[in-house]
Amino acid sequence: MKQLRPLVLASASPRRAELLSQIGVKFTARPADIDESAKAGESAETLVQRLAAEKAIAAARLLKEQDTAVVLASDTVVVLDYKALGKPADKVDATSMLSALSNRSHQVMTAVSVLDGTQQTTLCVTTTVHFGPLSAARIDDYWATGEPADKAGSYGIQGIGGQFVKSIEGSYSAVVGLPLYETVQLLTEFGVIE
């Protein structure tokens, strides 16, 4: 894979950085600070796409005018019973989320937005994740690891939380935080790679 244009990753997520590095794309990380609150009546899919698009726009505003970099942003939300589960506020919140996910299926929606000076494309990838049963003790033990504190839905599939996942239907990398297949397609379309 040959890289033709510089890329800016509008994220501080080490997982997204690892995924981009895994496919050999060089980038500069420039996290974008935006209000991530949902709007009244906004669906999870609309929310995740809007946030990814707004992160890309916010990061692009930080670039110098002569910068020819393309900006890539992403956002992930866990959805259970049509309700978006963000990052937990505390242990009680994480316990509530993980208890609700126990022995059930849920969706993980990850949106990717790519922006250059003239155009922006945003898409969403949905993956269904099937959890096994979780006891209160397992949830407590998991919280004690510190892993769930900064994860949408209170778990990380690529870490200790992967032990709860019986199976998935869709993109593993999207559940981690960046759907690689779709990302490569967008970066090719925007002339970042060939």
In 67-176, alpha helices (H):
91-101, 136-144, 172-176
Provide the 10 A C-beta neighbour count for residue 82: 8
User: What CA–CA distance (Å, rounded) separates 46 from 39?
Assistant: 10
Q: Which residues are catalytic?
A: 75
User: What CA–CA distance (Å, rounded) separates 107 from 84?
Assistant: 9
Q: Which of 31, 190, 47, 39 is nearest to 121 (CA)?
A: 190
